[in-house]
Amino acid sequence: MANPFVHMDLMSNDVDKSTDLYGKLFDWKLEDMPMADMTYTMIRVGEGTGGGLMKNPIPGAPSMWVAYVLVDDLAAATRKAKSLGGIRDERGDGGEGRRLLRHHQ
C-alpha cells in the first residue's frame, strides 16, 4: 500500500478513561513511558499500526486522533498538499524530519 498509516496518537482530555476504554475494548497492550513533562502511553496492537496516547496539549481542544502517514519525500508531499489546498497549519520538522500538516475542515 502506498503511503500507509504508520502511527496514531490519541490526544485525550481524560487519559485514565481513554486507557481504560481502549485497553478493555480492543485488548491493546498499553505501556506507560514517563517523559520529562508528561507520560506517553504506547499502544501495542500486535499486528498492524500501533500508536500512543497522551494528555491533549492543546487547551480547550477536544480529544482527537492524529494519524501519521509515511511518505518517501516530505518536501514533495508538503508541496503537493499545499497545491491541493490541504494545509492549514504547518509546523517545523522538530529536527526529526516530521511535519504537522492539517487539512481544511
Q: Are 47 and 92 in contact (CB under 8 A)?
A: no
For 38, the domain range is: 1-70
Provide the whole-model pTM: 0.74
Q: Model confidence over 32-78: pLDDT tens digits?
A: 999 999 899 999 988 878 899 999 988 899 999 988 888 888 788 88
DSSP letter assigned to residue 24: H
Q: Which of 77, 97, 73 is nearest to 87 (CA)?
A: 77
Co-location of 2 and 43 in the same domain: yes
Co-location of 32 and 20 in the same domain: yes
Cβ atoms within 10 Å, residue 85: 9
